[in-house]
Amino acid sequence: MWILTLLIVILIISAYAFITRNNNYWKQKKVPFEKPTFFFGNYKPVFSGSKHFGLLYSHFYDKFKNAAYVGLYRLWTPDILIRDPELIRNVLVKDFQSFANNDFDLDPKVDPIFASNIFSQTGEVWKKNRAAWTASMTSNKIRNAFEKINERCNVMIDHIKKQIKEKPNEALETKDLSLNFFTDAVVSSVLGLEVNSFVEKDNPYKKVAGSFFAPSFWFGLLTMTFIISPTLAKFLKIRFVPKHIENELVKMARKVYESRKTTGFHKNNSFDSILLHNQSKDNYSPTDLDIAGLIFGFLLDGTETSSGVAGFMLHFIAANPDVQKKLRDEVDQAAEANGGKLDYDTIHSLSYLDMIFSETLRLYPPALTVQRLCTKPYVLPPSDPKGQPFEVPLGMTVIIPIYSLHMDPEHFPEPEKFDPERFNDENKSKIKKFTYLPFGEGPRICIGARFAFNQTKICIANLIKNFEIRLDPKMEGKTLVIDPNFLLVKAVGGLWVTFHNRVEA
């Protein structure tokens, strides 16, 4: 009995020694840090589900105001959070080769869909696919998608008008409304298929776009595992894309590829452009999983991200009547000068709409952080006058706290205030470089940003042209809280507005 007891004691002591072995790491390196808690390190609020990991970083960003960077403990593993914009520039751009990979390690055999996404790829595979994606997002290809996107916008407008007629003053949730539109826009303009998410609530495209990121305890736990310990997630063979969603995507892939046999490939279509680009390399023939992964990439970037931004834009437009009036005046004047039409060039001439878009992204960027792995040894200067140079070891995660930068009053006075004028021509030029990073920066900047910008502007401009948008009474005075169980950015309880025909306003 005493031997078993001894073994248990030895095991406990060994486990404790292993977990706490790095507790003095940042003290020895003379880097500012906050004392970690046992096992959880500095991430206990994320484990408890009380705080989004992106908001957790703001605590350390604000606490160490005079530090260029801060040491963190993710469980028992040291990470580093960069505060200084110049060092952020080095990590993302100047010295990119030392931080070339995102901190997201996936096994293609376990999760082939997400592993095929450019976000998680590395090395030559990433370079090849980045070239294909970059070529697919040219101005001509984005312009080519306009008519299809605009058609789906008209479907949304008809749906809202019907809603106003049958159920006046009934509130709509802005993200869900936007998700319906963006799902249809991407499926139509990119995949070349037709769907109506406003009527077909259970269509597979919306199911993939919406349910993949649906907040839940289990999705929060899954996300936390990938964020806290990608190595553990890989060891446990955890899938980020569930098998049932993978199956739906494979069905879509076959349907899309069959449609191309009839219509042919179009070089000015962004989706086809990537397939054609890859087929031209080494006699490559795409598999069902390759095409499914590509569809997932477009649905991920073109629906979930865009609908989140558009949802917050509609909320702020409704909450700020003066902003809405100024935007409406701009839209009306531009349409009137173009015979009452909002075509591609007219919509892209709306400078105040650009300002609203930029300010919304400042307050609620799609991703609150960027996390990179150190891929080549790199030396940082001392974090503060009491410190010493720090050599970032291979494999260490480097965190860029986007949300914290955007909410820093030194960079953006009164950061909680929604003020589109921060991004007028005069003020925009005064924004310090690398303090505004809604889509990241450098070689790994979000390639789909221009496409998302295009379809979001089409959506908002047409809604403003046709409707007055008001906050639902239950939203009055409500403080928006970011859902901790959502990987990207979503408000707890949703964002609710009512639409009204302008002639009745």
Strands (E), 96-240: 101-102, 172-173
Name 109's Cβ contacts closer than 8 Å, sequence gap at least 6: none
Place of tokens 């998680």: 120
The CA distance from 276 to 286, in Å, is 10
Six-digit token pair at 443?
Answer: 């070689």
pLDDT at 505 over 60: no
Contact 392, 398 (CB under 8 A): yes
CATH number at residue 422: 1.10.630.10
Report the number of distinct structural domains present in the chain.
1
pLDDT at 216 over 60: no
Lowest mean pLDDT among 66-80, 145-159, 203-217: 203-217
Question: Distance of CA 71 to CAs 39, 66, 153, 199, Å?
Answer: 16, 13, 47, 50
430: containing domain: 2-504
* Radius of gyration of the chain from its Cα atoms, rounded to whole angstroms: 24
What's the mean pLDDT when you consider all of the chain?
89
Strands (E), 321-436: 370-373, 378-380, 390-392, 397-400
Each residue's pLDDT tens digit, 340-358 = 999 999 999 999 999 999 9
CA 179 to chain centre: 14
- More confident site: 50 or 217: 50
Contact 371, 102 (CB under 8 A): yes
The kind and range of the H/E element at 209 are helix 204-211
pLDDT at 59: 95
| Global model pTM greater than 0.95 | no
Across the range 460-464, mean pLDDT stands at 98
Each residue's pLDDT tens digit, 300-326 = 888 888 999 999 999 999 999 999 999
Across the range 246-250, mean pLDDT stands at 90
pLDDT at 373: 94
pLDDT at 119: 85
Each residue's pLDDT tens digit, 471-489 = 999 998 899 999 887 778 8
Amino acid at position 219, single letter? F
Comparing CA positions, the residue from 367, 357, 384 lying closest to residue 458 is: 357
pLDDT at 104: 77
pLDDT at 221: 66
